[in-house]
Amino acid sequence: MSFLDHIRACNAHDLSGFRRFELDGHFVGWVRHELAEALPGVDPGFVVTADRVGIAAEIRDFEARSTLLDHAAAYLVERGTVKALRGEYYPVLPRWGAEPLARLDRAAVAAFGIEAFGLHVNGYVRGDDGLSLWIGRRAGDRDVAPGLLDNMVAGGQPIGLSLAENLEKEAAEEAGLDAATARLAKPVGAISYSLETAVGLKRDRLFVYDLELPAGITPVNTDGEVESFELWPLDRVAASVRGTDDWKFNVNLVVTDFLIRHGWLTAENEPDYLEIACGLRR
């Protein structure tokens, strides 16, 4: 096990099993061949060729495209590809910052290989012995990574919220932090990876924040997603990420990035440094 192993695990995929998904002339995702072949039977608005999935030219507005994707999402539940829809919608974008072309239920995003955006917050404390990181342990009833270790705050970026609004919402729900404290979080970059899963291609782009907290503040979960928080010294955090599978898969990358930016992981002490640093933003 190593830092680089976690990065490679998050980027394991084979695009030969997929074909491109396009909306209004924009490449937006990847669809497995089996699902692609089924889509015209789900809704005749889907247009499928040997190498591409698209929609009929007359379906041009946001709501019509979204309705088409709703039909596909319902089909994914019907055939058991996803357990249930989430009722939370992500934007379908040609690139971050562009006008959304459609919306899609969060549960179905990977089946269409659409870029999904989210945010992660490293909550840390500065002490006489250096930095310590607040670590959350995910509740045992979570569908994803139950009982594993997590960032202090993390969440997907739904349509209709700005990053700042979502940061305040997630900080309140996951760590019990007020809006004024959440606004102190500093944006420090982004991490990306593309991981093939049972549902499809998970193409996540994570906006990363650092939030320095005073010693007197302890995060408290309010939405049931985290069962406990612990404050770990950075040496313990690094050893755990490097040597175990105790963390939610993508949090390994966020914490590795933190270790690089705060000078713990360097080109002098890690022979895979360059591949690690470049691999966080594939």
Alpha-carbon distance of 37 to 218, in angstroms, equals: 51
What is the phi-psi region of residue 219: left when phi exceeds 0, alpha when psi lies from -120 to 50, beta otherwise?
Answer: beta
Report yes or no on whether pTM surpasses 0.75. Answer: yes
In the prediction, which pLDDT does 215 show?
A: 86
- pLDDT tens for the 282 residues of the chain, in order: 899 999 999 999 999 999 999 999 999 999 999 999 999 999 999 999 999 999 999 999 999 999 999 999 999 999 999 999 999 999 999 999 999 999 999 999 999 999 999 999 999 999 999 999 999 999 999 888 999 999 999 999 999 999 999 999 999 999 999 999 999 999 999 999 999 999 999 999 999 999 999 988 999 999 998 999 999 999 999 999 999 999 999 999 999 999 999 999 999 999 999 999 999 998
Q: Mind listing the domains of the chain with CATH numbers? A: 3-9+116-188+206-279 (3.90.79.10), 15-115 (3.30.750.160)
d(CA 257, CA 37): 40
Q: How far apart are CA 18 and CA 32, in angstroms?
A: 4
Percent share of the chain, pLDDT over 90:
96
The pLDDT of residue 281 is 94
CA 182 to chain centre: 20
Find all residues with CB under 8 Å of 7, minimum gap 6, and list them: 193, 252, 253, 256, 275, 276, 279, 280
Residue that is written with structure tokens 């039977």 in the block: 41
**The predicted structure's pLDDT at residue 189:** 98
Looking at residue 143, its pLDDT comes to 85
**In the structure encoding, which two tokens stand for residue 74, read together?**
């319902």
Q: Distance (Å, rounded) from C-alpha 15 to C-alpha 20?
A: 9
